[in-house]
Structure 1
Amino acid sequence: MSIFPDYVSNLNTATESSAMATSSIPKEYAWDFEKNNFLLKDGKFQVVEGKEALKIWMWKALHTMKMTYSIYSNSYGHDLDSIIGQGFSNGLVESEAKRLVRECLSANLHILRIEGFKVNYEEDKLSIEFTAITDQGKVNINV
């Protein structure tokens, strides 16, 4: 007698495919972008799905420097700090920022591409806007 469970071969195929489809819907905990903290309802975490979950994932990834926190994988986060204070021309900064954002977002398979990429300079602050085309629809991002 084995300590491991026997393999069950008569699984319902419809249930399996339904479970796979459900697991491919992105989910995240609700996020308050202004307070930079979780959004709670009656003291409990709220889960969001689809486009809102992807928006949260992108926002958090673009606010997390790559390889800073050991809780995240090495592919999570951005390298935008590598272009700060380098004295690059605005054109080079914009081109490199676009490449680094694409690289950051490529870790999420739900994100297909980005469009309408804009870089704005306000004194020493760089802000980035774009529309992410995802398998859940279009998501506008401003970081």
Structure 2
Amino acid sequence: MSLFPIIQPETAEQTVDLPLCREVKWDYENNIPVWRGGEPVIVSGAQAVLSWAYRALQVPRYRFAVYTWGYGNECESLIGTAYTDELKQAEAARYVRECLLVHPYISEVSEVRVKFDEGTLRVSCVLETVYGEVDLDV
């Protein structure tokens, strides 16, 4: 027993066995799920993580009761702020990282590039997942 139970000694990286990630396949051009034979198509592995990440970046955090408070992003809060363009881009990049890193299959978000284009936020980044690297463009 430790005098400070909240402080734990550093140990070797703990690995948790995660089940195979499975999600609904997404049509990125039309922003709708893919259906076949009246049922949604299910993908697994890196494609499933990419599908989840794409959808998570589409949802404003805290707006819809159907989602947990950890799901979605806060980029919408930048609308109408008097921040400089550089600060808005830095904040948007931070919000993107926070949004994506809640997923247990994503260990790192790198090369985040954000661009405000006529009222639309464009995001591209590289996700380091348990299945390898995947590129995300939203």
TM range (shorter): 0.7 to 0.9
TM-score by length of 1: 0.79
Structure 2 vs 1, CA of residues 129 and 44 (structure 1 numbering), >3 Å: closer, same or farther?
same
Q: 2:58 aligns with which of 63, 66, 76?
A: 63
2:20 is aligned to 25
Q: 1:114 aligns with which of 83, 106, 109?
A: 109
Identity, in percent, stands at 28
Q: 1:103 aligns with which of 98, 102, 107?
A: 98
Q: CA RMSD in A?
A: 1.6
User: Which stretch has the larger CA shift, 50-59 or 83-92?
Assistant: 83-92
More helix by share: 1
Stretches of structure 2 lacking an aligned partner (at least 5 in a row): 1-15
Q: Are 1:80 and 2:75 counterparts? A: yes
Counterpart of 2:66, as a letter, is I
TM-score by length of 2: 0.82
2:88 is aligned to 93
Give 4+ residue runs of structure 1 displaced > 6 Å after superposition: none
Shift of 1:67: 1.6
What does the per-residue CA deviation read over 1:5-30, in whole Å, with 9 as the maximum and x for residues that have no partner?
xxxxxxxxxxxxxxx95x62111011
